[in-house]
Amino acid sequence: MDAPSPLALAAAVLTAPGWVRVGIAAPSERVREEAALALATRIVDSLDAPVVIVPDGQMALPLA
């Protein structure tokens, strides 16, 4: 299996729910662990999805 691209990983992190991104730095160990698991799940799920690059200001619309 090829290594995932940094662009794909960055997109997975940036599209994760806000609580996950904030929860990574939470003072509570339990919240950090839950956020880390949710982020890891998001990254694994996104590895099979194609990376779509949308120029700033342009809406991403589905093709179907």
Q: Residue 57 domain-assigned?
A: no
Q: Residue 29 domain-assigned?
A: yes
Q: Taking the alpha carbons of 32, 47, 45, 60 in that order, is the dihedral positive or negative?
A: positive
Instruction: State how far Cα 35 lies from the chain centre.
Output: 12
Question: Would you say the pTM of this structure is higher than 0.95?
Answer: no
Mean pLDDT comparison of 8-12, 30-34, 57-61, highest-scoring range: 30-34
pLDDT tier at 2, thresholds 50, 70, 90: confident
Q: Residue 63 domain-assigned?
A: no
3-state class (DSSP) for residue 62: coil
Question: Is the pLDDT score of 45 beyond 80?
Answer: yes
User: What integer best gives the mean pLDDT of the chain?
Assistant: 84
| Domain range for 18 | 6-46
Which DSSP string corresponds to 16-30? S-HHHHHHTT-S-HH
Q: Residue 10 domain-assigned?
A: yes
Q: Residue 25 domain-assigned?
A: yes
How far apart CA 18 and CA 5 sit, in angstroms, is 22
